Amino acid sequence: MKLNNKNLILTILAIILTISSYFLIRELYYLNNDFPYSQEIVAVFLGTIVTILITAILLNKQTEVELLKEENLKLFEFKADIYNELFKYLEDVFMKQDLTDSDIIKLKLINQKLATIASKDVLSIFGKFIDIFNDASQDNKIVGKDVDEIFDILSELSNAIRYDLLEGKHIEKESEKNAILKQIRINTDHLKNLKMIPLKKKDK
């Protein structure tokens, strides 16, 4: 905001100086001049001042753009860190196959973090995820079909997170978005069929 105000002031000064320079040089041109090259000297002087002002405006604009890029990068990193934290949390819960009071508190904290940064679509689908996660963990166990049900909604959540992180970097058509979501669901369904086949013990 301060940079915008500064740019506005410099722009106004440049306009005023340019207009003033025009009328001053015009007057000097028609007046009798006792000093040689006075008109040229005044023109060079005023031109230098205008150049300095324009350069200052451009530098301030460049600084503003660089600060905006830096803010966007920090915002992206913050989003990515929270989303990674969510998936790491789910990985830990799925691996140990149970849910403790500490796990519930941790999920509540992740929910609050998402509230500060996530897009509307992510928050909406995460709400559905919470409902399914609550139903699946009624017995404090996350096993079998519970995991599959959670992964179904996670497919939608992953897709929403994907678009949230790509926002402003890649614009996709609605048909492309639907195709990507469909493929994510197909991949998730295929993974449901993965089973651990017990190894046969070798005869001694």
Cα(58)–Cα(49) distance, integer angstroms: 14
Per-residue model confidence (pLDDT) at position 95: 86
Q: Tens digit of pLDDT for each residue in 72-128?
A: 888 888 989 999 999 999 889 888 888 888 988 999 999 999 888 888 888 999 998
Average pLDDT in the chain: 76
Percentage of the residues of the chain whose pLDDT score is greater than 90: 7
Residues 52-76: pLDDT tens digits? 777 877 787 777 778 888 888 888 8
Check residue 85 and give its pLDDT: 93
Q: What is the pLDDT of residue 88?
A: 93
Position 81 scores a pLDDT of 93
How does residue 39 score in pLDDT terms, banded at 50, 70 and 90?
A: low
pLDDT at 198: 46
| Torsion angle in degrees (nearest 10) through CA of 110, 114, 117, 120 | 170
Q: Which one is predicted more confidently, 42 or 93?
A: 93
The pLDDT of residue 83 = 93
CA distance 79 to 118: 7
Percent of the chain scoring above 70 in pLDDT:
67
Domain ranges of the chain: 2-68, 97-192
Tell me: the pLDDT tens digits for 17-32? 667 766 766 665 555 4
pLDDT over 60 (residue 170): no
CB atoms within 10 A of CB 123: 15
Cβ-contact 164, 122 below 8 angstroms: yes
- Tell whether the model's pLDDT for residue 199 goes beyond 50: no
More confident residue, 133 or 37: 133
Give the whole-angstrom CA distance, residue 100 versus residue 96. 10
Answer for the pair 97, 125: CB distance below 8 angstroms, yes or no. no
